[in-house]
Structure 1
Amino acid sequence: MTDAREIQVHMCAIGIGNGHDVLRATLGSCVGIGLLWRERGIYGLAHCLLPDAAVRPEGIGAKYVTQAIPSLLSLMQVQRASHGALEAVLAGGANMVHYARRPTHAPIGEQNVRTAQTLLEGLGVRVVHEDVGGECGRQLLIDCRQHAFVVKKITRTL
């Protein structure tokens, strides 16, 4: 029997894990941002609803991608000099709504992914895996004990 602790990361939330923890988020248009700091054995997962806010929110949170990434870094106690040691995983960002005509703006899932990519690149954090876009949901799991992640697609049923 293992002492694994499953941490379900709900919408607008962050989970931090180590040891035998398993972080899990189920995503549609939201983007899941996983940070893996293998050398320290610390892992983080944010479940972000929107790319950015009109007024930047204060404190720790994950409603917005622009809030989630600094929050993850803070909770994982990652200093700027260690950004290069991190690996990032992005999942989700699907188009879950069928439009009769494409809207004038990019779908929210696409905006979420683009914002995460831009911020991570600017911080020098390497994205090692992306499973984003399309029209299906996904589940992102980070197994802290195995130092591994997996993205599972959730197919639509009509």
Structure 2
Amino acid sequence: MPDGSDIQVRMCEVKIGSGDDVLRAILGSCVGIGLLWRRRGLYGMAHCLLPESPQGAPGDGAKYVTDAVPTLLSMMELDRARQDEVEAVIAGGACMVQHAKAPRHGLIGEQNARMALQLLAQTRIKVVHVEVGGDSGRQLVIDCAEHQFVVKTIGRAT
């Protein structure tokens, strides 16, 4: 990849790629949201830690899913009129900690995935792939040159 970059999207980050770039995130209970704007050759990825900000006020970045979706749309300069040109993929949201009984507040990975789906449902963006839950991590990869994504399961050590 002489002209492209291998872009690691770390926890609480939002990154944009194009050309020969490859976006990657390693996800456990975090959720990865990938946006593919093939017509424009522009791709975005957010790596979200928690479903929503306790303050409720929108912010920048991707610590919270509620901030990540608007941040992605802004960074990609994607207005409502063109959202139907974009596809989304959601991955991660696993239960990485074994609980004797489910936590009172619910599993954070499930909450992250549910919030991502809920927010994308409020847009005109079509969700084309969802791979969430379970007890294994995942890697979300978006290859900008090939205009494709892949979700790889990362097995747990025994």
Determine the C-alpha separation between the residues in 2 that align with 1:103 and 1:61: 27
The one-letter code sitting in structure 2 at the alignment partner of 1:39 is: R
SS of equivalent to 1:123: coil
Cα deviation per residue 1:40-84 (whole Å; 9 max; x = unaligned)? Answer: 000000000000011135542000000000000000000111111
TM normalised by structure 2 equals 0.96
Moved more, 34-43 or 54-63: 54-63
Q: Distance in 2 between matches of 1:155 and 1:35?
A: 25
Counterpart check, 1:70 vs 2:70: yes
**In the TM superposition, what is the alpha-carbon distance from 1:91 to its structure 2 partner?**
0.4
Q: Which residue of 2 aligns with 1:37?
A: 37
Give unmatched runs, 5+ long, in structure 2. Answer: none
Query: 1 CA distance for matches of 2:101 and 2:58?
Result: 36
Does 2:131 correspond to 1:131?
yes
> How much is the aligned-residue C-alpha RMSD, in angstroms?
1.1
Name the SS for the 2:102 alignment partner: coil
* Alignment partners' CA distance in 2, 1:77 and 1:14: 14
2:106 maps to 106
Letter in 1 for 2:26: T
Higher mean displacement: 52-61 or 34-43: 52-61
Question: How far apart, in 1, do the equivalents of 2:15 and 2:88 lie?
Answer: 15
User: Per the alignment, in what secondary structure is the counterpart of residue 146 of structure 1?
Assistant: coil
Deviation per residue, 1:90-113 (Å, 9 max, x gap)? 000000011111222220000000
Runs of 4+ in structure 1 over 3 Å off: 56-59
Report % sequence identity.
59
Alignment partner, residue 4 of structure 1: 4
Q: How does 1:7-156 map to 2 (within 5 A)?
A: 7-156=7-156
Displacement after TM superposition at 1:124 (Å): 2.0
- Once residues 22 and 104 of structure 2 are traced to their aligned partners in structure 1, the CA distance between those partners, rounded to angstroms, is 39
Distance 1:72 1:15 in 2: 8
Length-normalised TM-score, structure 1: 0.96
2:104 partner amino acid: T
**Separation of aligned partners in 1, 2:57 and 2:37:** 26
